[in-house]
Amino acid sequence: MTLSCKALKKITLNIPTINDSHNDFINLFKLLAQIEKCENTEIIFDFSECKFLRQNAVAFLGGLAKLINHRGGKAKFSWHTMQDKIHKNLEQNSFVFEFSGFADGWVGNCIPYRQDLCNDIDDRVVEVMNYLDDQWLGRGWIDIEPHAKNEVIQTVLELYRNAFDYSRSEIGIFTCGQHYPAIHQLKLSIIDFGVGIPHNIRLHLQKEDMLAEKALRWAFQGGNTTRQGSGGYGLNMATLKSFVKEKKGKIDIYSHEGQISIDPWGEIHQNSSTFFKGTMINISLQCI
């Protein structure tokens, strides 16, 4: 039996274990689909069934909570249902502080959770650049020359700028990362809950029926841009692609029903089984 969310004062959203395989991203997007029509509702995030959360889940759940609040509802985290190791990690990356006001974060293996509003890019661009430098690539986890590091940071900063300029997200952009020493990996996730890359590309090319995967292929192909003059989707992606391949890493990009996966063995462009209106970018690097 399907219950209408509008008839409920409170509903529970059961958070599963989330890693960062394809199915894990699909499960994240299904969480959004479950509450998409729930307005003026208290939504309780329950972690009883969750054994692990990667950085992509942290960024996504933070954005999801902000989206619920923005739409007039109330997002409530059931902290006591979390396993201790999950709660401790969310304390470390400042997620707990963001949503409870308690437990300041500390320096550890995390790249802190952060939110950037789309109307303050000019004020925040230096802060975001320092975040990418100091917290992501500048902590000795990755062997990289200074000039190469600057090029990669500028490329990722361009992804932020694209999100600021094109996503039309009313709640901003959400980021979180993590260093996983046991598996020698460094990960960073960037997400917005805006209109999505395919929407903008279809509009720009005046092709309303363009498949999402083809729109993503166009957006991240060098030289293509939706801006007049310099900038836009596609600029400098070759730098990031080359770096990720060199570090035996991977880039996953999801927007609408489109997906891109880039690794040392090539690129896959395909349509996913689940729709996500915004854009999720997940970068994985193999550490020294």
Give the C-alpha distances (Å, rounded to integers) separating 32 from 201, 218, 225, 276: 23, 27, 30, 8
Instruction: Determine the length of the chain.
Output: 288
Question: Is 2 inside any structural domain?
Answer: no
Q: In which residue ranges of the chain is pLDDT below 50?
A: 1-4, 7-8, 229-231
Question: Is 101 inside any structural domain?
Answer: yes
- 85-95 tens-digit pLDDT: 999 999 999 99
Determine the pLDDT at residue 139: 95
Question: Is 3 inside any structural domain?
Answer: no
Question: Is 5 inside any structural domain?
Answer: no
Number of separate domains in the chain: 1
The first and second tokens of residue 63, run together, are 């954005």
CA-to-CA distance for 140 and 122, rounded, in angstroms? Answer: 29
Question: Is 253 inside any structural domain?
Answer: yes
Neighbour-count burial for 138-148, b at 16+ CB within 10 Å, e otherwise: beebbebeeee
Question: Is 4 inside any structural domain?
Answer: no
The alpha helices in 79-208, defined as continuous H runs, are: 84-92, 95-100, 121-130, 146-166, 197-205
Among all chains, which residue has been given the structure tokens 């260093």? 179
Among all chains, which residue has been given the structure tokens 């960024």? 59
Query: With helix as H, strand as E and coil as C, how does 174-211 read?
Result: EEEEEEECCCCEEEEEEEECCCCHHHHHHHHHCCCCCC
Determine the pLDDT at residue 1: 36
- 98-150 tens-digit pLDDT: 999 877 777 799 999 999 986 666 777 889 999 999 999 999 999 999 999 99
Range of the domain at 258: 10-286
CA-to-CA distance for 148 and 243, rounded, in angstroms? Answer: 8
CA-to-CA distance for 164 and 123, rounded, in angstroms? Answer: 12
The CATH number for 189's domain is: 3.30.565.10
Question: Is 131 inside any structural domain?
Answer: yes
Question: Is 191 inside any structural domain?
Answer: yes
Determine the pLDDT at residue 226: 63
